[in-house]
């Protein structure tokens, strides 16, 4: 006899023998037999252990979810801090190479706008895919959204630096004219 046949015979014996007429399980009355005899069927096998087990399992799942959320937040905060430190250090290095403090601020604004634009672009492509069912995978949403957002963010950062630079120059020229006018007024 093969091993598979032996396993099949053992499984059949385990399944059939408890239901055999000579087994103790076969002699128990059914709920219908209790009803026929005029007696009420009382299920007195209630055990609170099952409820406690389910409650403990639910509490364990909630605990695991909270721990996972805390770990996720710590990882996300660490990544954000590393990105911020990288942006600040590269802006400082650019400013040192240019030997101008304004270059630090300009590089910082452009890089921050580019990173925020990439995040905004990913969010917008996710929302567009959700609303308009564009049939994009999450990889396409992330790549296309980040690329377009990065380019637009860098362009907006550059526009901000140019606008603020011109505004600062105009205010500086205006202040210089006021000083000169005040100095000429005192000299007369």
CA dist., res. 124 & res. 121, Å (int): 5
Within a domain: 7 = yes
> Looking at the structure, do residues 131 and 166 belong to the same domain, yes or no?
yes
What average pLDDT does the chain have?
A: 83
What is the residue range of 136's domain? 48-187
Contact 141, 125 (CB under 8 A): yes
Buried b / exposed e over 18-31, threshold 16 CB at 10 Å, is eeeeeeeeeeeeee
> Looking at the structure, do residues 144 and 168 belong to the same domain, yes or no?
yes
Rounded average pLDDT over 82-102: 91
Number of domains in the chain: 2
More confident residue, 121 or 51: 121
> Looking at the structure, do residues 150 and 103 belong to the same domain, yes or no?
yes
| pTM (global) more than 0.85 | no
* pLDDT computed for residue 182 by the predictor: 83
> Looking at the structure, do residues 169 and 78 belong to the same domain, yes or no?
yes
Within a domain: 183 = yes
Contact 127, 151 (CB under 8 A): no
Within a domain: 85 = yes
> Looking at the structure, do residues 106 and 78 belong to the same domain, yes or no?
yes
Rounded average pLDDT over 69-94: 94
Contact 153, 120 (CB under 8 A): yes
Q: Kindly report, residue by residue over 150-188, the tens digit of the pLDDT.
A: 999 999 999 999 999 999 999 999 989 888 888 887 765
CA dist., res. 123 & res. 139, Å (int): 13
* pLDDT computed for residue 133 by the predictor: 85
Within a domain: 163 = yes
CA dist., res. 40 & res. 34, Å (int): 6
């Amino acid at each position: 006899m093969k091993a598979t046949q032996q396993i099949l015979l053992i499984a059949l014996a385990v399944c059939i023998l408890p239901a055999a007429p000579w087994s103790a399980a076969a002699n128990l009355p059914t709920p219908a037999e209790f009803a026929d005899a005029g007696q009420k069927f009382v299920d007195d096998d209630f055990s609170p252990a099952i409820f406690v087990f389910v409650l403990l399992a639910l509490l364990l799942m909630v605990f695991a979810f909270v721990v996972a959320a805390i770990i996720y937040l710590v990882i996300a905060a660490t990544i954000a801090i590393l990105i911020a430190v990288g942006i600040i250090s590269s802006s400082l290095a650019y400013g040192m190479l240019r030997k101008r403090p304004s270059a630090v601020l300009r590089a910082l604004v452009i890089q921050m706008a580019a990173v925020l634009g990439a995040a905004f672009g990913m969010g917008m492509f996710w929302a567009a895919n959700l609303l308009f069912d564009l049939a994009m995978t999450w990889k396409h949403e992330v790549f296309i959204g980040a690329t377009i957002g990065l380019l637009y963010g860098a362009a907006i950062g550059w526009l901000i630096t140019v606008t603020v630079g011109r505004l600062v120059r105009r205010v500086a020229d205006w202040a210089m004219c006021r000083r000169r006018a005040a100095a000429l007024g005192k000299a007369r």
